[in-house]
Amino acid sequence: MNDSFIDIRSSVASLCEEFNLEYWRELDEQRAYPSEFVAAMTKSGFLGALIPEEYGGSGLGISAAAAILEEVHISGGNAAECHAQMYIMGTVLKHGSNEQKKKYLPEIASGNIRLQAFGVTEPSSGTDTASLTTTAKLEGNNYIVNGQKVWTSRAEHSDLMLLLARTTPREEVERRHQGLSVFLVDMKTSVGQGLSIRPIKTMINHATTEVFFDNLVVPAENLIGEEGKGFRYILDGMNAERILISAECIGDARWFVKKATEYANDRSVFGRPIGQNQGIQFPIASAYAQTESASLMTVQAAKLFDNDEACGAEANMAKLLAAEASWEAANMCMQTFGGYGFAQEYDVERKFRETRLYQIAPVSTNLILSYIAEHVLGLPRSF
Ligand SMILES: Cc1cc2nc3c(=O)[nH]c(=O)nc-3n(C[C@H](O)[C@H](O)[C@H](O)COP(=O)(O)OP(=O)(O)OC[C@H]3O[C@@H](n4cnc5c(N)ncnc54)[C@H](O)[C@@H]3O)c2cc1C
């Protein structure tokens, strides 16, 4: 992927030079939001990459967006605090009305509106999205929302949330994924008026939260698309998300391989560089090979996506392989650094913690394997 989008990559790389490893290390220690980095990414137009030009975005494809996020991670940074601003709007773009598109997309492209909170996961539903229990009931011109979400990342740094809620009771629909609907929730006016947010402390700096709805009033005009079809709309956006997260994993893996290679060349023990030992060389070479192959699958998935071709299998496989490659590279890098891998000043332990997330979120490895088994290979449905 490194040979493509050279200009974009070099602009992202020079932006990232301003946000060096000390910057990310400090934020991690303080569990603080990277406001300056997000502002710079917004100003440069990178977060509006996927928004069509007619709505003020750059009109680029997912391949270019993936290159942007990969570069952030190659630099040692972390785009997770703003990547959703790139792709959540895809639901509005694809399924929103003309009025909604005109109202929101230009503001999202300029960064005036941050749409980067995604309210899907609930404590009791977990991976089984269709069993969610948050409800939205139509009363006059409004929906009244009650329930709870968990792991709603960036909720405190978002103006809007894309919310998936049940509008028709489970007993009244034939299939459980029916009767779910998608809404845009105005976070700023809702906090304290039926919406409350509680941060969750996690092993990484991720600004994730629990969100509670207590008779929250959401105007009916904020419904996206048709009532009851929300599950389909959310699924539509998942390939984009998987491809972009794969690119971040590839960026992480490249960072670990480079870091380990440099260290293995510099560090001398028993009177020779540790990298002279094949016990150190081979894991680095193996991580490199895994990264390159995961990158090819990511590029392939992105190409199909940009050509409007079916890419479910490739997007899922890219996410699986890239998350595995980044984790293997992280583990290899930690081992290469020995005790120093644990010292914060080398940044390996931070990246090690951060990249572990991607085998669990936004979709866990088991769920991807189950998709491949059932939908690609035709094995019997498991759940
Ligand atoms: C830091 C972070 C940020 C997140 N951000 C968001 C966000 O912004 N918005 C949002 O909606 N969600 C978010 N999530 C939630 C994330 O998508 C879920 O954690 C993830 O989908 C897994 O759900 P769960 O944690 O409830 O695991 P569970 O569903 O409880 O599963 C636990 C484990 O069991 C496995 N498992 C479950 N069922 C099966 C099965 N049938 N076969 C095999 N294995 C199975 C799973 O793969 C997993 O490994 C975030 C999570 C984290 C940790």
Compute the mean pLDDT over every residue in the chain, rounded to the nearest whole number.
97
Tell me what pLDDT residue 377 has. Answer: 98
Mean pLDDT of 119-124: 98
Does the pLDDT value for residue 341 go beyond 60? yes
Mean pLDDT of 306-329: 98
Tell me what pLDDT residue 1 has. Answer: 46
Does the pLDDT value for residue 146 go beyond 80? yes
% of the chain surpassing 70 pLDDT: 99
Does the pLDDT value for residue 2 go beyond 90? no
Residue 334 pLDDT level (bands cut at 50, 70, 90): very high
Tell me what pLDDT residue 4 has. Answer: 84
What ligand 1 atom has the least distance to the C-alpha of 118? 9
Rounded CA gap, 31 and 87, in Å? 24
| Candidate of 364, 367, 368 to mutate for ligand 1, largest count of ligand atoms within 8 Å of Cβ | 364
| Ligand 1: lining residues by beta carbon, under 6 Å | 118, 120-121, 126-127, 151-153, 202, 206, 208, 357, 360-364, 366-367, 370, 383
For 140: left if phi > 0, alpha if psi spans -120 to 50, otherwise beta; the answer is left
Report how far ligand 1's centroid is from the alpha carbon of 128 (Å): 9
Quick: pLDDT tens for 87-96: 999 999 999 9
Report how far ligand 1's centroid is from the alpha carbon of 281 (Å): 35
Does the pLDDT value for residue 180 go beyond 80? yes
Does the pLDDT value for residue 3 go beyond 70? no
Q: Where in the chain is the domain with CATH 1.20.140.10?
A: 232-376
For residue 181, the number of C-alpha atoms closer than 13 Å in the C-beta half-sphere is 26
Does the pLDDT value for residue 135 go beyond 50? yes
Contact predicate 112/188, CB 8 Å: no
CATH code, residues 115-228: 2.40.110.10
Rounded CA gap, 351 and 348, in Å? 5
Mean pLDDT of 242-246: 98
Q: Where in the chain is the domain with CATH 2.40.110.10?
A: 115-228
Report how far ligand 1's centroid is from the alpha carbon of 362 (Å): 7
| Candidate of 129, 149, 151 to mutate for ligand 1, largest count of ligand atoms within 8 Å of Cβ | 151
Mean pLDDT of 225-247: 97
Tell me what pLDDT residue 9 has. Answer: 98
Quick: pLDDT tens for 91-119: 999 999 999 999 999 999 999 999 999 99
230's CB contacts (< 8 A; 6+ apart) are 164, 165, 167, 180, 181, 182, 224
What ligand 1 atom has the least distance to the C-alpha of 123? 26
Question: May I ask the CATH class of domain 6-110?
Answer: mainly alpha
Mean pLDDT of 342-354: 98
Mean pLDDT of 159-179: 97
Q: Where in the chain is the domain with CATH 1.10.540.10?
A: 6-110
**CA R_g for the chain:** 21
Q: Which CATH number fits domain 232-376: 1.10.230.10, 1.20.140.10, 3.90.1170.30, 3.30.70.260?
A: 1.20.140.10
Report how far ligand 1's centroid is from the alpha carbon of 241 (Å): 15
Q: Does the pTM of the predicted model rise above 0.75? A: yes
DSSP per residue, 128-171:
-GGG---EEEEETTEEEEEEEEE--TTGGG-SEEEEEEESS-GG
